[in-house]
Amino acid sequence: MYKINLLKTLTFLFFAITISVGATNNTDQTSSAEQESPVKNLKIEIKEYINHHLLDSYDFTFFSYTNDAGEHKYVSAPLPVILIDNGLKIFSSSKFHHGESVAEVDGDYYVVYHNKIYKTDALGTIESDEAHHATNEKPMDFSITKNVVFIIFVGLFMLLIFSRMANSYKNNPMPKGIGRLFEPLILFIRNDIAIPNIGEKHYRKYMSYLLTVFFFIWIINLLGLTPLGVNVTNNIAVTLALALVTYFITTFSGNKNYWKHVFWMPDVPWPMKIILAPIELLGTFIKPFSLMIRLYANITAGHIVMMSIIGLMFVFKNWIGSSLSFGLALALALLELLVAALQAYIFTMLSALYFGSAVEEHDHH
């Protein structure tokens, strides 16, 4: 039964991806067809589009197009911008007009430059140094950006799904509906990730975190593959937050044995102990750092490659090249489906491994 359900879901996701590829295709076609630009410009446009797609944004843009009059039109929903700059300042991102104009709030002027908000004057001047980094003052930015919206959305979605699943157990010991899909996954995380890596004795404490992080990364990675264009996990800030939580849990649950292995490795001669201590200490930081980089880089690389290949469809202006790159994009989309789950699995698995090493009992090799 589970297998069939899983198959159904996979089939559904497959179609979702196919449609997403098609949808991206359509929006691009309108802009490229109407601009009639040479290949060089098209390439630049694709590159910009990809770069733009990878970044967070202050409004929720569904798609943009250039109308007959040559104006760039956006179909989007504005989101709140929250700044801390001489007090809390909250205003709608529609004031920026998609980064095209200066927003004036309570006598201060702000502008979006390279996807960051800078304080500026009424004209929106950006001063920059030799390396083209803006030197304007940067206010503390706690805006509800597109990615934050999606984090909230995924959080609510997970709460809804899993609390309903929890409720369904009240009357019936067997899972119902969506629970039939998720229960094997929950059991997989418990039996194949938590128990073997952390141990029968301590694993219960970490289950909530492991389950949440697995489903959070997985769902948000899958959402990144939809035409909505969300890329939450390809922001280093998001993966840093996730990795930091793992780091703190590992550090705070580390027992005597763990710290002994870090600072004074047992069963090695004392000169080695002195050499090993800084390495091991560094290792405790490198572990979450590699978690952060891995998730970020995998998802980013996947998106860049996939979008580049989709972009190739418009660069090749013949049916062989375009259909070839379409096939390649489709195959990559399927691979990305796997990567979405695999990265969630690896993140959870390595977190569990680190927790396991932190709570490992004193057993001598």
For residue 99, the minimal CB distance to other proteins (Å) is 15
Using CB under 8 A as the binding rule, the residues of this chain from 336 to 355 that contact other proteins are 345-346, 349-350, 353
Stretch that binds other proteins, among 60-68, 85-93, 166-174, 328-336 (CB under 8 A): 166-174
Q: What is the DSSP string of 8-31?
A: HHHHHHHHHHHHHHHHHHHHHHHH
- Specify the residue, 116 or 273, whose C-beta has the smaller distance to other proteins: 116
The amino acid sitting at 284 is T
- Specify the residue, 75 or 237, whose C-beta has the smaller distance to other proteins: 237
Is the CB of residue 338 less than 8 Å from the CB of residue 298? no
For residue 71, the minimal CB distance to other proteins (Å) is 29
Q: Is 142 in the site for other proteins (CB under 8 A)?
A: yes
d(CA 237, CA 216): 15
Token pair belonging to 94:
């529609």
Question: Angle, to 10 degrees, between the axis of helix 256-263 and the axis of helix 270-315?
Answer: 90
Q: Of 70, 87, 173, 271, which lies in the binding site for other proteins, with binding defined by CB under 8 A? A: 173
Q: Is 132 in the site for other proteins (CB under 8 A)?
A: no
Q: Is 159 in the site for other proteins (CB under 8 A)?
A: yes
d(CA 18, CA 7): 16
Q: Is 147 in the site for other proteins (CB under 8 A)?
A: yes
Classified as helix, coil or strand, 104 is strand
Q: Is 228 in the site for other proteins (CB under 8 A)?
A: no
Q: Is 102 in the site for other proteins (CB under 8 A)?
A: no
- Specify the residue, 258 or 347, whose C-beta has the smaller distance to other proteins: 347
Sheet holding 116-120, edge to edge: 103-105, 108-113, 116-120
- Among the residues of the chain, which ranges form H helices? 2-35, 39-54, 146-171, 179-188, 195-198, 203-224, 236-253, 256-263, 270-315, 319-359
**Total number of residues that touch other proteins (CB under 8 A):** 63
Q: Is the dihedral of CA 208, 212, 213, 214 positive or negative?
A: positive
For residue 209, the minimal CB distance to other proteins (Å) is 6
Q: Of 236, 277, 315, 341, which lies in the binding site for other proteins, with binding defined by CB under 8 A? A: 236
C-alpha distances (whole Å) from 42 to each of 32, 115, 305 are: 7, 22, 17
Q: Which residues bind other proteins (CB under 8 A)?
A: 55-56, 82, 116, 133, 140-145, 147-148, 151-152, 155, 158-159, 162-163, 165-167, 169-170, 173-174, 183, 186-187, 190, 192, 196-197, 204, 207-209, 211-213, 216, 235-238, 240-242, 244-245, 286, 289-291, 293-294, 297, 345-346, 349-350, 353
